[in-house]
Structure 1
Amino acid sequence: MSGDEEDFEPRLGKMRSTRGKKARKYLGRLLAAGVAAAGAARAGRKGFDGSRISRGSAAGRLLASRGSSDRFAARRVVVKTRLVRLGGKGLDAARAHLKYIQRDGVTRDGAPGQLYGPQNDAVDGKDFLGSAVGDRHQFRFIVSAEEGDLYADLKPFVRRLMAQMEEDLGTRLDWVAVDHFNTGHPHSHIMLRGRDDRGKDLIIARDYIAHGLRTRASEIATLDLGPKTRLEVETRMRRDVDAARLTDIDRDLLREAERQPLVMAIDRDPVSQSIRAGRLQKLGTMGLADEIAPGQWRLAKDLRETLTGLGERGDIIRMMQRELTARSRTAAPGDRVVHDGRSPLTEPLVGRFVARALDDELADRHYLIVDGIDGASHYVAIGKGDAVETLPEGAIVRIVPAVGATGEADRTIVAVAAANDGRYDAAAHRRFDSRASPAFIEAHIRRLEAMRRQGLTDRTADGSWTIAADHAERARAHATASARERPVTVELLSPVPVERLARAEARTWLDREAASGGTLPVRDKGFGREVRTAIALRQQWLIDEELADAAGEGISYRRGALAVLQRRELLRLARSLSAELGKAFVETSEGERVEGRLARRIDAAGGRYALVEKAKQFTLVPWKPVLDRHVGKDVGGVVRESGISWTIGRGRGGPTIS
C-alpha cells in the first residue's frame, strides 16, 4: 500500500451523508442554538443611551430609587428644565431671554431683576453670554419651592442647590440666576452654560434632570424649613382627594400600578388608607379608574395625561379670573373658553384684547386673553413671543388659526420651477406670469427664504432656488411646523377701544365691516353687547354727518363716505404733528416715492400710520408690523394700491420688506 493508503483509518458503522435533509436540519438546529446562546448572553445588556458619557447618571438613579416613606413630609419643589441649542440664532434668543428675566417689576419692591452668580450678587449678563460664544447648548431651569414665600432671600438656596449639582455632576458649573417675586410662587430662573470645567460639552443624565435635581432641591428646602408636620401632610392629602389634577396620591397609585395590574386602598396607616380609598372613589367617578372587585381598582391608561391636562386647565381658568377681576370684569364659568395645545382655536375669533403674558417662560410661549364678540372670554395660546406685535389694551383684534398646509404661493413656486428646469427666480416668475408685481414675487422669495432657514430648500450662488421634486411635501411640513410654533395669526383691527369708534372722524373698523357687507356674529352679551351699542351709535352719527342713509335696520354709506372719513383723520393727525414737529406735512398719492427716516408709529381710530420724516417735512403712510424693528432707520418705497414695498437703508442695496 502506498503511504497515503497507510494513513487511511477506517471508521466502523453505517455510512451517513453530509448533504441529506436530516443533516441540514441538524446543522440548522446547531446554528440556531449558537445564535440563541449569543442572544442570551446579550440579553442583559442595554442599548446605548448616553448614560456612560453623561454626568450625574449614578446620582440620578440613586435619587430616583429612594423610598417614599418620608416623601410626603418633604418640602415640595418644582423644577422645570429646558435644553436650548445655541447654533444659528440661538445666542440672540439667549440674549433676549436674559433681558426678559431681568425685566422691571419682578422683585418684591417692583424693581428690575438682578442677575447673580455663585459668588457675586451682581453679575454682567453680557460677560456671561460672551463666554458662551461657541457653546453648543445651554440649560435653563426654573426652580420654585412650594413654600418659597418663607424665604427672605432665595440666593442662598439657589447657590447651595448649584453647589450640590456640581458635586453630583463632578464638575464646576458656570451659571447665573435671577429671582422673581412677581407671582404667587416665588421662583428662580437659572441659566447654565453647556460646558464643563474641562471645556467639553456638558451632558447631564436624563435621570438627574428628571429626578435628581428636584430631589436635591427638595432636600435643601426641607433642611431650611423643616419637614412638614403630620397634620400638614394629612390636611394636604385630604384636600387632594377631590382635586381635578395630578396629585401625589395619584403618583403613588401609578407607581404601584407599574408593579401590578390592580391597585388597592390597603395601607397599614388608617388615615392613609382612608385617603387612598377616597381618591380611588373620586377617580372612579371621573372615569379614570374601574373597581374590578371590592377594593381592587384598575387605573385608566390615560390617567396621568388626563389629570395633568385638567390641572393645567384649572390653572388657566384661575389666571383668567385674576386678569378679569383686576380689570373689574366678570365672566361666568361657562363663558370662559380655553384655546391651547389640547383644544386649539378652530374658527376665527374677533374681540377686545385684555391681557398678554407668558404661558411657559422657558419655552417663550405666550397667550392672550380676549373678550370675544360672542360674549365669552377666551384664552388663546399664540406661541413664540415675537409671533404677535405689541397690542394696546382695549384694541380690537381678529385671531385666525394657522393652517398646516401648502398655499397658493407654494403651488406657484412649483409651477414656475417646472417651466424653468427645476429652478425658481424673479426672472423666471416674470416669464411665467407677466402680470406678477415685484411685491408679489418678493412674497414668494420670502417664503423660500423661510424654508431655506429650516433646511428645506437651497439657494444657489446666482440667487436662484433649486426646487426639489417633493417641494410641495416639504412646504406642507414647513407649514405644519410653523403652525406649532405660531398656532394663530393675530390681526389688529383697531388700535383704539370700541367705545371711541362710535363718533370717530375716521374710517374705523366698524365702517370697514359694515361696508364689506359681512355680518359679525355679535351676541347681546359681554363685549358683544358693547359692540352692538357702538354700532348703533356709529350708524346714527354717520346719518347725522350726512355720510350715510338709513336702510332698514342698518345704513347705506353715501358715495365716497369712507374716503372722506379717512382723509379727515389724516389731515387732523397732520395738523397735530405739524405743530409738534415744526415741519410741513406732505400728502402722498399712488405712484409717488416716499423717503426719509422712519420716526415712529402713530395709533389712530382708523388704524396705524408710519411717520416718515425728512429735514423739513414729513408724511404719513399705512403701518406694517414688520416695520417695528426698523424704527429710526432710513427707509424708502413707492406707494402702490396694494401698499408699499419698503427698502431699508440709504442705499438701494438694503433689504426690502413688503
Structure 2
Amino acid sequence: MPRIIKIHEKPEDNSDITISLGRTKKRVTSDAGLHYKTSASALFLREMVRTVKQASRRHTGKHRFVRNASEASQRVIVKSRIVRHISAKNGLKSLQDHCSYFTRKGVEGIDQNQPKIYNKAGSLDADLLDEWQQKAAGDRHHFRFIVSPENSQNLDLTSYTRDLVAQLESDLGTRLDSLAVNHFNTDTPHAHIIIRGVSEDGKDLVISRDYIANGVRNRAREIANEHLGLRTELEIKNGITREIARQAFTHLDRELKTIATKSPDNAIDLRVASGRGNGCTEFKRVVQLQRLKFLESLQLAGEIKPGVWKLQEDFEKTLRELGMKNDIIKTMHQSLSVGNNQEKQIFDPQHTDRQSITGVVVASGLADELHDKKYLVVSATDNRVYYVPLSQKAETPGREAKPGAIVTVSISGRTEELRVSDQKILELAAANDGIYSREKHRLQVNKYRLPEGVTVEKYLENYHKRLQALERRGVVKRVGENSWSIPADLQIHLQEHGEKHLKVTLESAADLDAQITSTTPTWLDRELAAGRVPCGDFSGSSFNQELNRAKERRIETLLHLGIASKTAQGITLKRDFLEKLNKSLLQKDMKTAPIDKDRER
C-alpha cells in the first residue's frame, strides 16, 4: 500500500506548512527530545547485550539441539567428563595415562592391529601425540567423551567420529583440537574422544551442561541416521525386547520411573484403556508389563491390584549395582583360564570380616574408562579369585602391580578430621537440641554471600549429601525427612566409623618362574625364611598349588647355590642364607655400577 502524504495548513500563517509521513505524531519539546534520545540509547544497549548473549550461547552450545531425537533414530550412548588440570604437570600425567590406556593391548579389532589415535587430519604417531599432550597439558581442563552407537558394527567408526567432531565445531562456533581412538573390546565397538579445553582464539572452551548432557548425544544420533538411516519398526521392537530380562538399569526402567513419578501415589497403571489403541502403544504396554514381571522376580516391583504396579524405592540403585556386578563377573571370567573352578569374590574393604589376602595378579585394567579407576584380579592363597577395585591411593606410585606380580591386599583405616560443613552441622544442631534441620538452616543462609552460580538449594543440597553419607556409615541418625540427630562428639564418631581403604603392597614384581632361578633374594625366599615351607598336596590348579611347586623348585636352586643342604630330616636352610643372597646382589650391583676414577685412586 503506497504511503500517504498529508499536508496541514495553519490558518494563522499560510506560509507555515508541515509535511508528515503516515500517522501524525505529537510534537515534542526539547526536554522530551532528550528523553527520547535516552530511550533509543537504552534500546541500542539492550540489543547489543542480546547479541553478545546469543554469540556466547553459540560458543557454549547452550540451547542448541538439546531436544530429544525421534523414536526411529539410531540409538547412541554418550558418556562425558570434564577433567580439570591442577597444574601443567598434573594435566600432562592425566593425558599420558589416558592415552596409554587408549592404545593398550586387548582393544584391537578383528585385524589384531594396535589401535591408532587419529584426528580430523589423519593418524598421530608417537611424536605428534607427545606434542599434542604437551600443548594440552597447559590448558585449564579437557573434555572426554565415549561414543557408542548401538549399530556401530555397521559403521565406519573413524568417519563417523570425525563427522561428529565437525558438527560439534559448528554448534560451538570454533575449531576444536581433538583426538580419538576406536575400541573393539566390547560387544559394541565405541570411540574415545579427547577435546582440548581451549577454543581457536586461545580462550578457555566452555560447553554448557545441557549441551553435554543432551546435545552431544542427539547430534550423535542424527549423524548415525545419516550413515545408517532410521531404524525400522522391527529393529526398534528388537531393541526394546532385549531389555526385558536384562539385569541392569535400562531405558524401559527409565520410562517406568517417569510414569510412576507422574502418579500421585507413584503407581504405574498399565490397564487397557477404553477404546482401541494403536499397535505401537499396545506393544510398548505389553513390553512394560513383561519388564515389571521380571522386576517382580527380583523383588523390585509388585502388582498392588490387577494392571497397577508399584516399584521399590531402591529399584534403580539395585539394578545399577546388579549391572556393575555382572560386568565384574564377565571381566573375571575373561581373565581366567577355561575350566577354572575357584570361588570368585569382590574384595570389599567395608566388609567387617575382611582379611588381608596374598596372591598373584591375574589381570589388571580400568573399571571406569572415563575416570581411570583401575582394578586387579588376584588369585589368592585361599583358593579364591578376587576382584579388587583400586582407589587412586591404593598403590604406591612407581610400584604398581602388573599381571604376574605377587601382591598383598590389605585394609587400612583413615582418621577423618571434621570438615567445615561438619562444624556448621554441629553448630546448628547444638542450637536445636542436637537436631540438624534443613529448614532452620535455610533461614540462616545469606544468599548474597554464596559463591557466584550457587543457589540456596544447591548449597543446602551439599549438606544433605554429606549427612546421607554419614548416615550410611552409622555416624548420624535420621529423625525426619530433612532432619538428623547429630552426636555432640561427632569427631570421635568419625574416627570410630572412619572409612576403610584398600592398600596394595607389591611383594614381588617378578613372577614365580623368574623367582625360582634368581640368584638374588626373592619373595619366595622370604616365605621360606618365615617357615612357610611347601606342603605335599599339589592337586588342583589354584595359586596355592602353583606356589607350593615354586617353593620346591626354589629349594632346588638354593641347594645348587650351596645355601641349603639335605639332611635326614629333609631340607635345611642356612640361617644366614638371606644375608648371603643379599651379599650376592650387592656384588652384582658393584660389577654393573659405573667406576668412579677419583674414588678408585
| TM, length-normalised to structure 1 | 0.58
Instruction: Please state whether the residue corresponding to 2:78 is helix, strand or coil.
Output: strand
Provide closer, same or farther for how the CA distance between residues 262 and 131 of structure 1 changes in structure 2, counting only shifts above 3 A: same
Q: Distance in 2 between matches of 1:318 and 1:359?
A: 12
Instruction: Please state whether the residue corresponding to 1:240 is helix, strand or coil.
Output: coil
Q: Any idea what the Cα deviations from partners look like across 1:593-631, whole Å, max 9, x if unmatched?
A: xxxxxxxxxxxxxxxxxx64336899xxxxxxxxxxxxx
Provide closer, same or farther for how the CA distance between residues 514 and 58 of structure 1 changes in structure 2, counting only shifts above 3 A: same
1:492 corresponds to which of 506, 514, 517 = 506
Matched, 1:397 2:407: yes
In the TM superposition, residue 250 of structure 1 has moved relative to its aligned partner by 1.0
Provide closer, same or farther for how the CA distance between residues 165 and 266 of structure 1 changes in structure 2, counting only shifts above 3 A: farther
Provide closer, same or farther for how the CA distance between residues 523 and 203 of structure 1 changes in structure 2, counting only shifts above 3 A: farther
Instruction: Please state whether the residue corresponding to 2:327 is helix, strand or coil.
Output: helix
In the TM superposition, residue 217 of structure 1 has moved relative to its aligned partner by 0.9
In the TM superposition, residue 382 of structure 1 has moved relative to its aligned partner by 2.3
Letter in 2 for 1:547: A
Letter in 2 for 1:81: S
Q: Distance in 2 between matches of 1:217 and 1:276?
A: 27
Q: Distance in 2 between matches of 1:350 and 1:215?
A: 48
Judge conservation of contact 2:244–2:294 (CA < 8 Å) in 1: yes
Letter in 2 for 1:370: V
> Partner residue of 1:55?
60
> Partner residue of 1:510?
524
Judge conservation of contact 1:175–1:190 (CA < 8 Å) in 2: no
Letter in 1 for 2:372: D
> Partner residue of 1:358?
366
Give runs of aligned pairs for residues 96-245 of structure 1, distance below 5 A.
Answer: 96-97=96-97, 99-100=99-100, 103=103, 108=109, 109-111=111-113, 113-120=115-122, 122=124, 124-126=128-130, 128-129=132-133, 132=136, 135-152=139-156, 154-169=157-172, 171-184=173-186, 185-197=188-200, 199-245=202-248
Letter in 2 for 1:377: V
Instruction: Please state whether the residue corresponding to 1:163 is helix, strand or coil.
Output: helix
Give runs of aligned pairs for residues 629-648 of structure 1, distance below 5 A.
Answer: none
Judge conservation of contact 2:534–2:548 (CA < 8 Å) in 1: no
Structure 1 residue ranges without an equivalent (≥5): 1-50, 408-472, 578-584, 587-610, 619-658
Q: Distance in 2 between matches of 1:121 and 1:344?
A: 51
Judge conservation of contact 1:345–1:401 (CA < 8 Å) in 2: no
> Partner residue of 2:322?
310
In the TM superposition, residue 342 of structure 1 has moved relative to its aligned partner by 8.9
In the TM superposition, residue 542 of structure 1 has moved relative to its aligned partner by 6.9
Provide closer, same or farther for how the CA distance between residues 394 and 118 of structure 1 changes in structure 2, counting only shifts above 3 A: closer
2:340 corresponds to which of 317, 330, 338 = 330
Instruction: Please state whether the residue corresponding to 1:301 is helix, strand or coil.
Output: coil
> Partner residue of 1:462?
none
Instruction: Please state whether the residue corresponding to 1:149 is helix, strand or coil.
Output: helix
Instruction: Please state whether the residue corresponding to 1:400 is helix, strand or coil.
Output: strand
Q: Distance in 2 between matches of 1:307 and 1:356?
A: 25
Letter in 2 for 1:146: E
Q: Distance in 2 between matches of 1:564 and 1:279?
A: 68
Q: Distance in 1 between matches of 2:120 and 2:91?
A: 22
In the TM superposition, residue 288 of structure 1 has moved relative to its aligned partner by 1.4
Give runs of aligned pairs for residues 20-59 of structure 1, distance below 5 A.
Answer: 55-59=60-64
> Partner residue of 1:529?
545
Structure 2 residue ranges without an equivalent (≥5): 1-55, 418-490
Letter in 2 for 1:180: N
Judge conservation of contact 1:498–1:534 (CA < 8 Å) in 2: yes
> Partner residue of 1:90?
90
Judge conservation of contact 2:534–2:549 (CA < 8 Å) in 1: no
Letter in 1 for 2:377: I
Q: Any idea what the Cα deviations from partners look like across 1:46-100, whole Å, max 9, x if unmatched?
A: xxxxx9898333236x425x6xxx53x4322221211111231333224414642
In the TM superposition, residue 403 of structure 1 has moved relative to its aligned partner by 2.9
Q: Any idea what the Cα deviations from partners look like across 1:238-289, whole Å, max 9, x if unmatched?
A: 3322211112211211121221211134474443333211211111121211
Instruction: Please state whether the residue corresponding to 1:202 is helix, strand or coil.
Output: coil
Instruction: Please state whether the residue corresponding to 1:305 is helix, strand or coil.
Output: helix
Letter in 2 for 1:157: Y
Q: Distance in 1 between matches of 2:146 and 2:597?
A: 52
Matched, 1:293 2:305: yes
Q: Distance in 2 between matches of 1:136 and 1:344?
A: 42
Q: Distance in 2 between matches of 1:295 and 1:342?
A: 41
Letter in 1 for 2:92: D
Q: Distance in 1 between matches of 2:304 and 2:314?
A: 18
> Partner residue of 1:559?
575
Letter in 2 for 1:176: S
Letter in 2 for 1:614: I
Judge conservation of contact 1:289–1:298 (CA < 8 Å) in 2: yes
RMSD after superposition: 4.3
In the TM superposition, residue 121 of structure 1 has moved relative to its aligned partner by 5.2
* Amino-acid identity (%): 30
Letter in 2 for 1:263: I
> Partner residue of 2:285?
273
> Partner residue of 2:29?
none
Judge conservation of contact 1:246–1:307 (CA < 8 Å) in 2: yes
> Partner residue of 2:332?
320
Judge conservation of contact 1:139–1:194 (CA < 8 Å) in 2: yes
In the TM superposition, residue 319 of structure 1 has moved relative to its aligned partner by 1.9
> Partner residue of 2:79?
80
> Partner residue of 2:429?
none
Matched, 1:259 2:271: no
Provide closer, same or farther for how the CA distance between residues 233 and 496 of structure 1 changes in structure 2, counting only shifts above 3 A: same
Provide closer, same or farther for how the CA distance between residues 194 and 503 of structure 1 changes in structure 2, counting only shifts above 3 A: closer
Judge conservation of contact 2:169–2:176 (CA < 8 Å) in 1: no
Q: Distance in 2 between matches of 1:54 and 1:83?
A: 17
Judge conservation of contact 2:381–2:544 (CA < 8 Å) in 1: yes
Q: Any idea what the Cα deviations from partners look like across 1:318-343, whole Å, max 9, x if unmatched?
A: 12211224xx56245xx122237998
Provide closer, same or farther for how the CA distance between residues 289 and 548 of structure 1 changes in structure 2, counting only shifts above 3 A: farther
Instruction: Please state whether the residue corresponding to 2:388 is helix, strand or coil.
Output: strand
Q: Any idea what the Cα deviations from partners look like across 1:332-385, whole Å, max 9, x if unmatched?
A: 5xx122237998994322111212222223222222221111112222122349
Instruction: Please state whether the residue corresponding to 2:204 is helix, strand or coil.
Output: coil
In the TM superposition, residue 507 of structure 1 has moved relative to its aligned partner by 4.2
Provide closer, same or farther for how the CA distance between residues 112 and 617 of structure 1 changes in structure 2, counting only shifts above 3 A: farther
Instruction: Please state whether the residue corresponding to 1:143 is helix, strand or coil.
Output: strand
Letter in 2 for 1:347: Q
Instruction: Please state whether the residue corresponding to 1:204 is helix, strand or coil.
Output: coil
> Partner residue of 2:594?
613
Instruction: Please state whether the residue corresponding to 1:489 is helix, strand or coil.
Output: strand
Provide closer, same or farther for how the CA distance between residues 519 and 212 of structure 1 changes in structure 2, counting only shifts above 3 A: farther
Q: Distance in 2 between matches of 1:226 and 1:168?
A: 22
Q: Distance in 2 between matches of 1:197 and 1:299?
A: 49
> Partner residue of 1:547?
564
Provide closer, same or farther for how the CA distance between residues 262 and 209 of structure 1 changes in structure 2, counting only shifts above 3 A: same
Q: Any idea what the Cα deviations from partners look like across 1:556-590, whole Å, max 9, x if unmatched?
A: 7443233345445666xx3xx8xxxxxxx45xxxx
> Partner residue of 1:444?
none
Judge conservation of contact 2:118–2:179 (CA < 8 Å) in 1: yes
Q: Distance in 1 between matches of 2:238 and 2:139?
A: 47
